[in-house]
A and B are shown apart, each in its own frame.
Chain A
Amino acid sequence: MPLAEIQTMLRQLITAPEGVAQALAEAGDPEGAVLLRRVRGDARLSAIGRVEVYANAYFERIHECLASDYPAVHWALGEAWFRDLVTAYLIAHPSRHPSLRFAGAELPGYLARDPRAAPFRRGRRWLADLARYEWALVDAFDAADVEPLPLAALQSIAPEAWGSLRFTFHPALQLVALEWPARGLREACDAGSAWDPDAEIHPAPGATLVWRRDERVLHRAVGPVEFEALACGLAGRCFAEICERVAAQLGDDEAPARAAGWLADWQRAGLLAGLAIG
């Protein structure tokens, strides 16, 4: 048997969601003849039992990784449901990246859209938002480093050039629009609160800003107009266009001062990485 066939056979058995013995039984080979031709067992442990060692390790390793990346999803679902989620998720999205760091990358989209995730969404319409927020924290943790834009760089801009200023932002910066109070749920989890299965979670549309300052991942709520302004800046629009967007919401009188105020906030928080004129 070529090496490729041996590896594929073992991969199929190790990743089988129902376990090695059940997978063989469902394939009409309960004795595991296909496996026994290739893998040795002995008096201490059968060939099936030996492959199960790897199958258990496969699941437990990824479960541990996802529980670490999604602590509030884990907390809210409880261990049994979370294990079911990991099992179902791995069927849809087996790990394809060399690093476990990315094993959970597809979980927010899976929870939001995959029909197979319906049992996890039922009664928990907030779950996908929570996962999306937690993954933003993971992504911010190891995004590229850049030097924050110094205040002097903004102060040196000539008044007539302000309108055509464009900004680059810290690579860790993410603007996460949420329908549910994901940030509050994660904070409750981090605080060690007990999960209340009877608690009603109400929609709380809003946006959260996630970023990193030096090595610390930070987050705060963003109001709808600042959200628009930031999204505009992230899309590469110039400051005049950002002001126009703000003016459409707040009026011409208030817009320039509010936009300038937010810009100053962004600079102080380390969200800005660079600027260009034109």
Chain B
Amino acid sequence: MRSASHPLHSDAPLLGVGVGLRPSHYPEVLAAAARGELQVDWFEALSENYMVPGGRPPRVLDDVRSHVPVVLHGVSLDVGSVDPLNETYLDALSALAQRVEPAWISDHLCWTAVDGIRLHDLLPLPYNGDVIRHVAARIRRVQDRLGRRIAIENVSSYLSHRDDELTEWEFLDAVAAEADCGILLDVNNVFVSAHNHGFDALRYIDAVPAERVFQIHLAGHSRHGDLLIDTHDHPVCDEVWTLYAHALRRVGAVSTLIEWDANIPAFDRLEAEALRASAVYDGVFAAATGSGAKLGAGHAVG
């Protein structure tokens, strides 16, 4: 829903409010889609789950894609590793993108493997010039290979490097600029990392280059001792909703996605969370423009 009254900065399409596509919701999603009663505007599919030869997951994804837009979101592109980019993985991602025709493709600004061993986690990089050049060059190679710009997501982190010479937001900005890629701004990750490292989440959000933000992520987290952990097993907390409204005022009209990956509730609970995101969005832009225009979560977008 591109609207002159909504300040739209990035060149990514505005899809509305979506949720992550998870196997436990397949029956409900397919039934609602067939009835034309989906209460969400789009889905984000975890790329690796669909890089398989056949069977139910690719069929479901094709079905969902025939009804609503889909975005591919990966966890193993590994733009931060010193290992060579995995050509087999890139082939599979490229083939999946041709099949799904996603609105965009995203992965994380992190490293996940080294010496050929996969940690299956999103580890923070040292924030300095050498790493900016290393990561940006790899993102450019990926983009050349896929023939499109990708978006990189800021991760939740639990450790920081003594080799840091920049703040995380300066690092994110510099990598995105040098790679000329988009950003997937995970507002919950900003909140979690701000707590874990003692920085100001608002300062981070205020520094994000609005013109590069393709998408916003929202999710729940858990407290473990003195740290917050990005567990995606709770509703979005009040502080993150407040931060989301601030981010929207900062970056303008951006597609938003609710992630929920553990203790996954019934699909209608997830839809309710998406509707809340839509209401926050509408509130921000109604206040900004006086238009009262609506975004997504069941509304037509185009």
Q: In the complex, what distance in Å separates the CA atom of A172 from the CA atom of B227?
A: 45
Verify B118–A51 contact, CB threshold 8 A: no
Verify A39–B226 contact, CB threshold 8 A: no
Verify B55–A3 contact, CB threshold 8 A: no
Q: A3-B82, A171-B53 are in contact. List 14 more A-B contacts (CB 8 A).
A: A6-B163, A7-B114, A11-B115, A15-B117, A40-B159, A45-B227, A50-B227, A54-B123, A98-B89, A101-B48, A142-B56, A143-B55, A144-B53, A215-B55
Q: With a 10 A CB-CB cut-off, give which of A10, A53, A58 has the most chain B CB atoms.
A: A53
Verify A39–B162 contact, CB threshold 8 A: yes
**Given known A-B contacts A3-B131, A7-B81, A142-B55, A96 and B158 have beta carbons under 8 A apart:** no
- Chain B residues bordering chain A, tally (CB within 8 A): 45
Q: In the complex, what distance in Å separates the CA atom of A141 from the CA atom of B23?
A: 13
Verify A3–B120 contact, CB threshold 8 A: no
Verify B119–A14 contact, CB threshold 8 A: yes
Residues of A close to B56: CB separation below 8 A: 141-142, 215
Residue of A nearest to B57 (CB): A142
Residues of B close to A265: CB separation below 8 A: none
Which of B54, B121, B160 contacts A171 (CB under 8 A)? B54
B242 to chain A, nearest CB (A): 23
Q: In the complex, what distance in Å separates the CA atom of A144 from the CA atom of B54?
A: 4
| Interface residues as binary, B158-169 with A (CB distance below 8 Å gives 1, 0 otherwise) | 111111000000
Residue of B nearest to A61 (CB): B120
A44 contacts partner chain B, Cβ-Cβ < 8 Å: yes
B111 contacts partner chain A, Cβ-Cβ < 8 Å: yes
A145 contacts partner chain B, Cβ-Cβ < 8 Å: yes
Verify A53–B163 contact, CB threshold 8 A: no
Residue contacts A-B, CB under 8 angstroms, 11 given: A14-B121, A45-B226, A51-B159, A98-B113, A100-B120, A141-B55, A143-B53, A143-B55, A144-B53, A145-B54, A212-B55
Interface residues of A (CB under 8 A from B): 1-4, 6-8, 10-11, 14-15, 37-40, 42, 44-45, 47, 50-51, 53-54, 57-58, 61-62, 94-101, 103, 141-145, 171-172, 212, 215
B283 to chain A, nearest CB (A): 35
Verify A3–B126 contact, CB threshold 8 A: yes
Q: In the complex, what distance in Å separates the CA atom of A45 from the CA atom of B49?
A: 34
Verify B159–A50 contact, CB threshold 8 A: yes
A57 to chain B, nearest CB (A): 6
Which of B53, B54, B118, B131 contacts A98 (CB under 8 A)? B118
Q: In the complex, what distance in Å separates the CA atom of A182 from the CA atom of B54?
A: 26
- Near A by CB (< 8 A), chain B positions 59-117 give 59, 76, 78, 81-82, 86, 89, 111, 113-117
Which of A14, A40, A95, A145 contacts B161 (CB under 8 A)? A40
Verify B119–A8 contact, CB threshold 8 A: no
Residues of B close to A14: CB separation below 8 A: 119, 121
Residues of A close to B119: CB separation below 8 A: 11, 14-15, 54, 58
Residue of A nearest to B134 (CB): A3
Which of B57, B58, B120, B158 contacts A58 (CB under 8 A)? B120
Residues of B close to A7: CB separation below 8 A: 81-82, 111, 114, 123
B224 to chain A, nearest CB (A): 8
Residue of A nearest to B114 (CB): A7
Q: In the complex, what distance in Å separates the CA atom of A40 from the CA atom of B158?
A: 10
B78 to chain A, nearest CB (A): 8
Verify A142–B54 contact, CB threshold 8 A: yes
* 3 A-B pairs with least C-beta separation: A145-B54, A98-B76, A144-B53
B280 to chain A, nearest CB (A): 30
Residue of A nearest to B227 (CB): A45
Q: In the complex, what distance in Å separates the CA atom of A36 from the CA atom of B248?
A: 38
**Given known A-B contacts A3-B134, A94-B117, A99-B76, A39 and B111 have beta carbons under 8 A apart:** no
